[in-house]
Structure 1
Amino acid sequence: MTQISVLLAEPTPRAEQAVRWVLNNLLGCAVRLVSTEDELIASDGAKLHYGDRAVPGVLNIHSSGWLKANGISPFEPPTGSMNEIPVLFPTAEGDLPFDVFAATFYLLSRYEEWSGLPSDVHGRPLTDSLHASRHGYLQRPVVDEWALELKEAWTRFDPTFDPPVRAYQQITTVDLDNGFKYLGRPLWRTMGSTLRDVLRGNRVDVRERLRVLTGRSRDPFLLDEEARSVFNTCSDRVIHFVLSASRGEWDHAVPVDDPAYASALRSYMGPAEIGIHPSYHTSDRPGLAANEIRALQDIIQEPITLSRQHFLRLKVPGTFREMEKLGIREEHSMGIHDRIGFRCGTCTPYPWYDLEQERATELMIHPFTVMDNTLCHKLGLSPEEAIIEVRAAVDRLKRIGGTFTGLWHESFLASTGSNTEWREAILRIIQEARP
């Protein structure tokens, strides 16, 4: 691994974290912090100085001074552009025309969410309130683009600088919000749903329900072999997030201890990883997520280390702190519920930093790019229009060696019913996004 020696003119926990995010997580290099200019100059290999004056013979990134600040308060970073890429903290000094470390820290720390943003009825930040939305870069993984601009500037300064080449990846994730469409429901609920469909004249669902309940057809929400084959052959990782909760207004999944559902979950394992999909109220009811994790672990007989919040009810910092305590290693809720884009400015997984406690953690944040419900219901696209829109996002990520993470639901992947056109569109998106 390429090693970079770094001198921070004014060392702070935030500056150190920003340097590690950019150089280690985004460029794949090892970071060696040094204490003096003499030590930096005497170092072998790549060298970088971060401060408000230049050090001869090394790459200099001019500090805006923002990473010296303590605490959290409302803040609007200055904006600019470089090679038609939006940037934050522009500067006329140094070897890069903006403070890449302060800019990266602002977005990856989710500083604006710590400060407080207007939210919707589900407690999610209003997309139009995000800095990226207000300044027109929501659909760009600008943090990744900044890292590559830094790499280019470094290569011009030192042609021997040779960090690893980023490799494009696809991660396919499926949220199992229901488990089954018809199976696993109490008799009274099945009878009520059947009566409702009869009264509405929905003969297709009435017939389908009867075929499934009498064993003549598969439940349409079961992930079938065709879909699973596409996932497995076209993706670097496949993850299923399982809702393991008592039924409520927003939680409609079959109990995970239902024998048929438990069998289905175990059949998904192997090619696919299993994670928890904490229920709607876990974000405001301490202890609830722990119970749901235990219930799922009892069924699959494996530790649960991956999580994505139901309804994407991600609370900063509460969700991260609770998941960290529960042994979760990867949190996958970082995304936008009503747009295609990058809530935190990156497509690349990175470790969470606790701003209040000024503490680096091992909890990895995994951003996603797009969700099926967004394409269909929030943006009102047809399946064919959705393919075109997602293709543009995937092409952008392929150009930068990024990671495309799609968030799909079993209801959109149903093998029969009204969503079959969406099923075909999603499978085509996954196939086109193949590395």
Structure 2
Amino acid sequence: MLLVYTKKKSPRLNYVFKHICTRVLGIKVGFTAKIEEFIAHDSLKMSYAKQQLGNEFFVKSHDILFEQGLGDVDINVHSWDTTKCFFYIGEKCSIPFDIFSASFYLLSRYEEYLPHVKDEYGRFSAKESLAFNEGFLHQPVVDIWAYKFKDALQKQFPEFVFPERTYNIIPVIDVPSPYNYKLKGLMRNFGGITADLFRLKIKSLYLRFIVLLGFKHDPYDTFKYIINRQRHSKYKFLFFFLIGDYSTYDKGINPNKKKFVSLIKHVGDYCRVGLKVSFLAIENSSTLKKEKIKMEEILNTNLKATRQSFSKLNLPDAYRNLITLEVQEDYTMGYVNQIGFRAGSCSPFLFYDLDYEVQTPLMVFPYQVMDYALLKHKSLLDKKKVLNEMIDEVKQVNGSFIPVFHNYTFGDDMRWKGFKELFNLILNSVDEN
């Protein structure tokens, strides 16, 4: 166990030390304000305070972990070997930065509580983030800092054997609509036909008819292919089905249709299934509750995981609603149009509510790349290069790589040409040295 000497304890201190030490490095951590207890401890130990006691492993503490609420935080980002960090504390300390305070700032999403410009969907955009503007969005800096902390500890305690974690993947399949033409109903198909005629989309019109007449597979129906890939992978895929009402934003299938329910159950036989929270339910707790109950009726089990429609995430309300309904996991933490680490980490972490100053039971699984973000890279070679670079970043800290693909990504639309190959690249990354 790592024993930390600190004159003052706080919920923030407990939260971030347990994430870095226990979740990332795999070691237990305890705290003491008694010098005698600290001296007597015969294993890993460090002091986290304003002043060093003697020659022990020492990290000078920043004030942010002992504050409450939001305040003006002065941040100056510096280079640190091949990465970047902030809250510089000097070379006389065992490490030159207070990585615990810096990690708390990123993991708590402190900056998302501060005034910022939202995009057209009301989302916090990558361009508003410290990581994007300071050029470290492409790195899981919290995990990198944790490993630097580990290396420094190892030098001072060479006899201690740290546990090793392994790189893993959690492939996420987002299903806003399982079919492009099927199960849409008479009125919606009539509207689609009218729109195709008006825009002279003859190919789309032809495809709609041959699919509805049963002569061709629906282009969004790629579930057989995905399940087949699941059978050859040791990691469970996680599907998120939209079952919310039809709206301006969400145009899924009526969850009362038996074929749709059968599809969800069929996928659930092979993969994990969660709820894709509709756009209107994100900020409406009663609508969210109805969707959760409906999905639990379909799955015949408690709902464990969610993803918000359009990856919209307004903190802290969106997460509080999930916590109230006892949802255990969320997979919304990421950017639709930007590859990178929104919370600076590739390790799942518990959501910390800054307003209530409490660690919550909701586990946040941050995703690093969505298929849409890869579209800006025109050639397949460029897409592979970017994807491999992201995978390598996660592998260096043995983290969790979480990509988000859609069911229609695996169809025949030329827009998504080569994406099956990209998906297989991710699946095969586990077996590579």
TM range (shorter): over 0.9
Partner of 2:130 in structure 1? Answer: 131
Match of 1:82 in 2: 80
Task: Find the aligned partners of 2:250 and 2:93 in 1 and give their Cα distance.
Answer: 53
Name the residue aligned to 1:27. Answer: 25
Matched-pair contact (CA < 8 Å) for 2:8–2:33: no
Q: Is 1:401 equivalent to 2:398 in the alignment?
A: yes
Which residue of structure 2 lines up, in the alignment, with residue 288 of structure 1?
A: 287
Taking every aligned residue pair, what percent have the same amino acid on both sides? Answer: 25
Measured in 2, the distance between the counterparts of 1:374 and 1:74 equals: 33
Unaligned regions of 5+ residues in structure 1, if any?
Answer: none
Mapped partners of 2:379, 2:72: distance in 1: 39
Matched residues in 1 for 2:156 and 2:49: separation? 18
Aligned CA distance change for structure 1 residues 237 and 117 (closer, same or farther; 3 Å): farther
Q: Equivalent residue for 2:35?
A: 37
Q: How does 1:52-201 map to 2 (within 5 A)?
A: 52-56=50-54, 58-92=56-90, 93-201=92-200
**Between 205-214 and 356-365, the greater mean CA deviation after superposition:** 205-214
**277-286 or 82-91, larger mean C-alpha shift:** 277-286
Post-superposition Cα deviations, 1:278-299, rounded to whole Å, max 9, x if no partner, equal: 1112233231111111112222
State the SS of the aligned residue for 1:411: helix
SS at match of 2:170: strand
Which residue identity is paired with 2:7?
A
Given that 1:180 and 1:261 are in contact with CA atoms closer than 8 Å, whether structure 2 keeps it comes out as: no
Task: Determine if the alignment matches structure 1 residue 316 to structure 2 residue 315.
Answer: yes
Match of 2:407 among 407, 410, 415: 410
| Superposed counterparts of 1:146-295, under 5 Å | 146-234=145-233, 236-295=235-294
Counterpart-to-counterpart distance in 1, 2:254 and 2:74: 46
Deviation at 1:200, TM superposition (A): 4.1
Three-state SS of the structure 2 residue aligned to 1:45 is coil
Q: Determine the C-alpha separation between the residues in 2 that align with 1:422 and 1:397.
A: 23
| Alpha-carbon distance between aligned partners in 2 of 1:430 and 1:201, rounded to the nearest angstrom | 38
Alignment of 1:323-402 (within 5 A): 323-376=322-375, 379-402=376-399
| Matched residue SS, 2:48 | strand
Letter in 2 for 1:386: K
CA contact (8 A) 1:18 1:104 kept: yes
Instruction: Normalising by structure 2, report the TM-score.
Output: 0.94
Aligned residues of 1:14 and 1:68 also touching (Cα < 8 A): yes
- The 10-residue stretch of structure 1 (396-405 or 422-431) with the greater mean CA deviation from structure 2: 422-431
**Hey, what's the Cα distance between the residues in 1 that align with 2:427 and 2:117?**
37
1:43-91 Cα deviation digits (max 9, x unpaired): 2321121112223464222212332222212424232222232011111
Supply the RMSD in Å over aligned alpha carbons.
1.9
**CA pair 200-306 structure 1, distance change in 2 beyond 3 A:** same
CA distance in 1, matches of 2:35, 2:373: 51
Match of 2:70, as an amino acid?
A: I
Distance 1:193 1:418, change over 3 A: farther
> What residue is the counterpart of 1:424 in the other structure?
420
Note the alpha carbon deviations across 1:86-114, whole angstroms, 9 max, x for none.
01111113211100110111100111112
Is residue 429 of structure 2 the alignment partner of residue 433 of structure 1?
Answer: yes
What is the CA–CA distance in structure 2 between the aligned matches of 1:257 and 1:382, rounded to whole Å? 41
1:279-333 per-position Cα deviation (integer Å, ceiling 9, x unaligned): 1122332311111111122222121110111011101100111100111101111
* Aligned-pair CA distance for 1:238: 1.1
Task: Compute the displacement of 1:150 (Å).
Answer: 0.3
* Preserved contact between residue 243 and residue 278 of structure 1 (Cα < 8 Å): yes
Aligned counterparts of 1:118 and 1:75: Cα–Cα separation in 2: 19
Deviates most, 115-124 or 211-220? 211-220
- Which string of whole-angstrom CA distances, capped at 9 and with x for unpartnered residues, describes residues 318-353 of structure 1? 011110011110111110122110111001101111
Greater Cα offset, 89-98 or 195-204: 195-204
Asked if the contact 2:377/2:383 (under 8 Å) is kept, the reply is no
How many pairs were matched up? 430
